[in-house]
C-alpha cells in the first residue's frame, strides 16, 4: 500500500492554486518519474477545482485513488494513493495537514502563493510517515468507521468534468504539464479507446505498447 503524492492547494474562484506538494515516486520507473509527477500535480489541481467547498471526495482512476478535502475556507489538500491504502487514514492525514498548514502559513498568502514562496516543510515528513498506515495512525484503529461526514465517491476522473468538457483539452491547456508529458498522453490515448483515461498508465505503459507493437509485427514477418 502506498501514498504517491500529497499537496496543499487554495481553491480560487476559477482554478486551484498549488501551494506545496510532496511526492514519493520511488515505485515508478526512473525515467517516468518527472512525467508522473506532472500528471499528479495536474490531477490534484483539477480535483480541487471540481470539488465543492466544504466537501470530501474520493476519485478512483484505474488502480489509483485521489482523496480530496476542500475546507470551508477554501484551503484544500489532495492525497493520491493506491487502492489498498485505507481510505479513512487518508482523510485523517488530510485533516492533519490542513490544520498544521493553516497554523504555519498566513491565510493572506494562500490565494497567490506557490511552492517556492510558501515555507511549509511538513508535507515530506507526513508523506513518508504515513506510508505505513498502522504506524502513523497508532492511536486510532485503522479500520474504524469514518465519521458521519459524507464522502463523495467518483468512479472515474471524467465524472468530475462538465458536460461537453474533454479531458484531452484540459491536458493540452494545462500549465502543470510539460511538452513531454503532453506527448505521452497523446500517444497513449491514440492507442487506447477514447473512453479510457490512463493518465498514469500513459507514463507507465507507453513503453509496453511500443515494444509489443514491434515485437509482434516483426515475429509475424520473419518467422
Partner 1 sequence: MAESKEEVDVLVQRVVKDISIALKRHPNIDEIGLIQCPEALYNRSPIVLVENKLGVESWCVKFLLPYVHNKLLLYRQRKHWLDREALVDITCTLLLLNPDFTTAWNVRKELLECGALNPERDLYLSKLALTKFPKSPETWIHRRWVLQHILRQFSAVAHKTQQRVEAEQPDAERSQFLGSHLDRLIHQEMKVCSDAACRYPSNYNAWSHRIWVLQHMAKGNIKVFRDELSSVHPWVSMHVSDHIFCPSQHQSNTVHSTCPQANGELSLADAACGDRITTVFKLFYQETELCADLIQSFPGHETLWSHRRHVYYLWHHWRQDQDLCTDGRENELKPTCINEPDGSQGRNVDRHKHVSVPMEVDRVSLPDHDSKRLRRGILLPNLLTLQNEHTFVNSILNSCCNAEQNNYAVAYKKWLDTVISAQSLDI
d(CA 89, CA 9): 20
| Secondary structure (DSSP) of 171-201 | HHH-SSS-HHHHHHHHHHHHHS-TT---HHH
Q: Per CB under 8 A, does 183 bind partner 1?
A: yes
User: Which listed residue (5, 7, 17, 32) binds partner 1 by CB under 8 A?
Assistant: 32
- Rounded CA gap, 32 and 144, in Å? 36
With binding defined as CB under 8 A, does residue 146 bind partner 1? no
Q: Any contact of residue 150 with partner 1 (CB under 8 A)?
A: no
The answer to whether 26 and 96 have CB atoms below 8 angstroms apart is: no
Which residue(s) pair with 61 in the sheet? 64
Stretch that binds partner 1, among 48-56, 114-122, 152-160, 178-186 (CB under 8 A): 178-186
Smaller CB distance to partner 1: residue 104 or 140?
Answer: 140
Using DSSP's 3-state secondary structure scheme, residue 13 falls into coil
Q: Does 218 bind partner 1 (CB under 8 A)?
A: yes
Q: How far is residue 7's CA from residue 184's CA, in Å, rounded to a whole number?
A: 23
Distances (CA, A) of 41 to 8, 23, 167, 171, 183: 10, 10, 15, 12, 17
Q: Is 172 in the site for partner 1 (CB under 8 A)?
A: no
Task: Indicate which single residue of 83, 117, 155, 172 sits in contact with partner 1 (rule: CB under 8 A).
Answer: 83
Q: Between 179-191 and 199-222, two packed helices, what is the crossing angle to 10 degrees? A: 60
CA distance 39 to 33: 10
Q: Does 35 bind partner 1 (CB under 8 A)?
A: yes
Asked if 31 is part of the footprint of partner 1 (rule: CB under 8 A), the reply reads yes
Binding mask 106-145 for partner 1 (x = CB under 8 A): --------------------------x-x------xxx-x
Please pick, from the candidates 70, 101, 211, 220, the single residue that binds partner 1 as defined by CB under 8 A: 211
Place of cell 491565510: 107
74 or 189, CB closer to partner 1? 189
Interface residues with partner 1 (CB under 8 A)?
1, 27, 29-32, 35, 63, 83-84, 86, 132, 134, 141-143, 145, 180, 183-184, 187, 206-207, 210-211, 214-215, 218, 222-223
Amino acid at each position: 500500500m502506498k501514498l504517491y503524492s500529497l499537496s496543499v492547494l487554495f481553491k480560487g474562484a476559477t482554478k486551484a492554486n498549488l501551494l506545496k506538494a510532496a511526492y514519493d515516486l520511488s515505485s515508478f520507473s526512473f525515467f517516468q518519474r518527472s512525467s508522473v509527477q506532472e500528471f499528479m500535480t495536474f490531477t490534484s489541481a483539477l480535483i480541487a477545482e471540481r470539488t465543492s467547498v466544504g466537501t470530501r471526495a474520493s476519485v478512483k482512476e484505474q488502480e489509483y485513488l485521489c482523496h480530496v478535502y476542500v475546507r470551508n475556507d477554501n484551503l484544500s489538500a489532495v492525497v493520491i494513493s493506491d487502492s489498498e491504502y485505507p481510505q479513512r487514514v487518508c482523510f485523517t492525514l488530510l485533516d492533519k495537514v490542513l490544520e498544521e498548514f493553516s497554523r504555519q502559513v498566513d491565510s493572506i498568502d494562500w490565494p497567490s502563493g506557490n511552492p517556492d514562496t510558501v515555507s511549509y516543510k511538513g508535507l515530506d515528513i507526513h508523506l513518508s510517515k504515513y506510508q505505513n498506515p498502522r504506524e502513523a495512525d497508532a492511536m486510532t484503529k485503522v479500520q474504524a468507521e469514518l465519521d458521519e461526514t459524507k464522502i463523495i465517491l467518483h468512479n472515474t476522473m471524467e465524472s468530475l468534468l462538465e458536460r461537453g468538457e474533454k479531458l484531452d483539452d484540459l491536458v493540452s491547456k494545462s500549465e502543470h504539464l510539460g511538452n513531454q508529458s503532453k506527448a505521452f498522453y497523446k500517444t497513449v490515448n491514440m492507442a487506447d479507446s477514447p473512453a479510457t483515461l490512463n493518465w498514469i498508465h500513459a507514463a507507465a505503459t507507453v513503453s509496453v505498447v511500443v515494444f509489443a507493437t514491434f515485437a509482434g509485427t516483426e515475429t509475424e514477418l520473419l518467422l
